[in-house]
Amino acid sequence: MSTTLQFETGDAGTKAITIDSLVVAGWTARDRAAVDHHIEELAALGVPAPSQVPLFYRLSASLLTQESDVEFLGAEASGEVEPLLVQDGETLWLGLGSDHTDRKLETVSVAFSKQACAKPVARQLWRFDELRERLDDLALTSWIRDRDDAEWQLYQQGTLAAIRPLAELMAASPFARGEALAPGTAMMCGTFGAKGGVRPAGQFRMELRDPVQGRSIEHVYRAKALPVIA
């Protein structure tokens, strides 16, 4: 099912982009030894190993949301800051998203755990081609807290240099068109480890920062836990 979102794109103004296909790339770290170590860590927790690395999970585009309040079943889901690619048919855009994932369900099936959760995304996009030569310098950061009056805790931090080149991920994805994506496709491109370990939180804040131009894309959302009724 497709979804249409409104994005702010700078000189191109506000654009309504219809997304027909959503894919989430997993296990995308450039350091293969780090990937293997993470797979072993998760296996100890009961999370099945991926069938290949990287792996592309095809999800419903209707999961994408720009709302600041998002509901999830149970209290064991958590966010992951990720670069977001959006191809509108004319322009390839770079944005910001959270691959919110049900951690309990993840021990049964990673694919099901991702499909079970909405995917919050920011409202701003940058032109990919303007950043293509310096993507590695862009910084991704996330913070968590449980209530409005609490201090934000640093949760994830790194640069895109730790993630496989985005052009390489696009070319390997199920919606590849050379080193780009098919029109109407959005792709999340992987993330970093969580400081202090993966854990749920009531609020998630994320940022994509461009240090050269001194600009950033930001988004904050509240994760409301719905009761699990047997």
Within 10 Å of residue 142's Cβ, how many Cβ atoms?
Answer: 26
How much is the pLDDT for 38?
A: 76
Distance separating alpha carbons of residues 20 and 61, to the nearest angstrom: 6
Burial of 53 (0-12, 13-18, 19+ CB in 10 A): middle
Q: Among the listed ranges 25-34, 58-67, 70-79, 88-97, which one has the minimum average pLDDT value?
A: 25-34
pLDDT digits (tens, 9 = 90+) for 21-62: 999 999 999 999 878 877 887 787 788 889 999 999 999 999
Looking at residue 36, what is its pLDDT? 87
Q: How far apart are the first and last CA of the chain?
A: 29
What is the pTM (predicted TM-score) of this model?
A: 0.95
Say which CATH class 3-226 falls into: alpha beta
Strands 55-59 and 126-127: unpaired
Q: 221 vs 40, which has greater pLDDT?
A: 221
pLDDT digits (tens, 9 = 90+) for 168-208: 999 999 999 887 899 999 999 999 999 998 999 999 999 99
* pLDDT in the model for residue 84: 98
Helix and strand counts by DSSP (H, E) for the chain:
4, 19
User: Is residue 104 pLDDT above 80, yes or no?
Assistant: yes
User: What's the mean per-residue pLDDT of the chain?
Assistant: 95
Which pLDDT value is given to residue 230?
85
Map out the domains of the chain as residue ranges: 3-226
